[in-house]
Amino acid sequence: MLRQGQIEALIVSHEHFDHFWGIGSTLRHCPNITLYIPQGFHPHGLAFIKEQGHTGQLITVPPDQPLLLLPGLAVVNFPMHTLLRVDGENVLYAQIRDRGMAMMTGCGHGGVLNLLDYARRTFQGGDRIHALYGGLHIAPLEDWDESRDRMVASLGQYGIAKLACNHCTGRRAVEKMLEIGLPVLRGTAQNGSQNELFVGNGDVVELA
Ligand SMILES: [Fe+2]
């Protein structure tokens, strides 16, 4: 799809290694793809993008204001400061006709509930969340306590019809979601993806 120009842009969520350092695998097939990064990248990260052969447009998303990509599709850079001096995370919001909003995160450092509530406050129709995909950052290190039980329970109150998680959600968190009957889509555990709880490399999520 990259070689045939069927993918118009790549949204990089943030500068952490498991979300960014594999960028060469995309650029190898489409060096001139348009890239979106959150404001806050370090000079080494910017140099890495060049070293990996990027020749296309590089767009830096400023913090705290939705950048409209198309009618009904926006990227928002949530300011945050986390491990390894990483700043800012891009989150994608899409309005799907007759269904509601879809939110796609890389890791979800801003807190999945905060990010959903942002949609409610900010976007027309944002109170109806249809689908959620990404890193929900509930227990990525597999530590567990009551506050995480409450997060999973709260997630169940948004009426989300499709939920798909990547590894940044945590295995235990996905198991808890399944236990309380949330509509979790399963992956295939192929291409290095850890297990079927996560939708990973080569898996497809159809949001509409
Ligand atoms: Fe992550």
Please report where in the chains the tokens 């097939």 appear, as a residue: 29
- What domains can you pick out in the chain, each with its CATH number? 97-208 (3.60.15.10)
> From ligand 1's centre to the CA of 173, what distance in Å?
14
> From ligand 1's centre to the CA of 98, what distance in Å?
31
> From ligand 1's centre to the CA of 55, what distance in Å?
26
Check if the beta carbon of residue 121 is closer than 8 Å to that of residue 114: no
- For residue 102, which of 67, 129, 75 has the smallest C-alpha distance? 129
> From ligand 1's centre to the CA of 118, what distance in Å?
20
- For residue 82, which of 54, 53, 40, 113 has the smallest C-alpha distance? 40
> From ligand 1's centre to the CA of 94, what distance in Å?
21
pLDDT at 208: 77
* pLDDT above 70: percentage of residues in the chain: 100
> From ligand 1's centre to the CA of 24, what distance in Å?
18
> From ligand 1's centre to the CA of 18, what distance in Å?
6
Q: What is the pLDDT of residues 132-169, one digit of tens each?
A: 999 999 999 999 999 999 999 999 999 999 999 999 99
pTM of the model as a whole: 0.95
Q: What is the pLDDT of residues 54-111, one digit of tens each?
A: 999 999 999 999 999 999 999 999 998 888 888 999 999 999 999 999 999 999 999 9
Average pLDDT rounded to a whole number, residues 122-126: 94
User: CB within 8 A of 29, min separation 6: which ones?
Assistant: 2, 3
Position 115 pLDDT exceeds 80: yes
> From ligand 1's centre to the CA of 13, what distance in Å?
9
pLDDT at 84: 87
According to DSSP, the β-strands at 34-38 and 58-61 are parallel
> From ligand 1's centre to the CA of 120, what distance in Å?
24
User: CB within 8 A of 78, min separation 6: which ones?
Assistant: 63, 64, 88, 89, 90, 91, 109, 110, 115, 118
